[in-house]
Amino acid sequence: MPGENLKNEMIAKRIKEKGILTKLLEQGIKILIIKDCKKIRNLKIDIISTSSQIIKGEIKKIYISAEDINYKDLFFDELQLEAVNLKINFKLINKELHFTDNPIINFKILLSQSSLRTVLLSDKWNWIGNKISNEILNLEKLIDIKIKDGKLLIKASKKNLSINQVKQINIKTERGKIYLENKGYNKIVQIPIENKIYIKNVKIENNLINIFASSSISF
């Protein structure tokens, strides 16, 4: 496609024209991200800024994308992140980087059924799955979770009993938070997330949960 070829040529030209400071900064950010993740694939970082801007402690724009991510035992299938007009303190000698103004980043996360199930049934995070089961199903233990036809199917049970139920659950956002809703029981539960994260929208497409959000960052 001519349009796509032109776009790729422009990206290739911009990468070729990048100065040494931009490339060093990209590498420094890449090291920081890899250090915090147990697993990450296809990590790409694109900084749009001149060397003089970087020397002044300014980044015009940064774009980051990655796949197959394990961050603190939270699994994400894809991540796209973008931020503009950043203020930084970048020490060239040791490649040490700090953001000086707690910038706001916008990001998109994709979660598959496999990733969601792995997180909510894990030893570290199963308390969230059990909280969901208890508050919207009146059951104590999450057994399984699936994505089907734009909804979540949750299977839960009572401890030490052979009783289990499968219910269809809606997912929605309100005032920057994510909620799961059981309309049949008229029950709703808020998914715990860090206060600095603001959820703009969440939807299920092609059996993937799409989360659109913003957050401040500091490191």
**Residues 90 and 120 occupy one common structural domain:** no
**Residues 75 and 44 occupy one common structural domain:** yes
Q: Is the pLDDT of residue 109 over 80?
A: yes
**Residues 93 and 175 occupy one common structural domain:** no
Is there a domain that residue 218 lies in? Answer: no
Which residue range is the domain that position 67 belongs to? Answer: 2-101
- Angle made by CA atoms 150, 151, 156, in degrees to the nearest 5: 155
pTM of the entire structure? 0.83
**Residues 159 and 193 occupy one common structural domain:** yes
Distances (CA, A) of 131 to 120, 127, 137, 165, 185: 10, 6, 10, 15, 16
Is there a domain that residue 204 lies in? Answer: yes
Query: Considering only CA atoms, which of 205, 192, 200 is closest in space to residue 78?
Result: 205
* Predicted local distance difference test score (pLDDT) of residue 190: 94
Is there a domain that residue 216 lies in? Answer: no
Q: What would the two tokens of residue 219 be?
A: 């490191």
Q: Indicate the residue type of 93.
A: I
Question: If 0-12 CB within 10 Å is exposed, 13-18 middle and 19+ buried, where does residue 36 land?
Answer: exposed
**Residues 58 and 147 occupy one common structural domain:** no
Got the DSSP string for 118-171?
HHHTSTTTHHHHHHHHHHHHS-SEEEEEEEETTEEEEEEE-TTSS-EEEEEEEE
Residue 208 pLDDT class (50, 70, 90 cuts) = very high
Count: domains in the chain: 2
Asked which of 79, 101, 123 is the last residue of a domain, the reply is 101
Asked which of 74, 101, 128 is the last residue of a domain, the reply is 101
Is there a domain that residue 106 lies in? Answer: no
H helices within 37-151, ranges in order? 51-55, 113-120, 126-137
Per-residue pLDDT tens digits for 112-128 = 999 999 999 999 999 99
**Residues 81 and 142 occupy one common structural domain:** no
Asked which of 101, 135, 153 is the last residue of a domain, the reply is 101
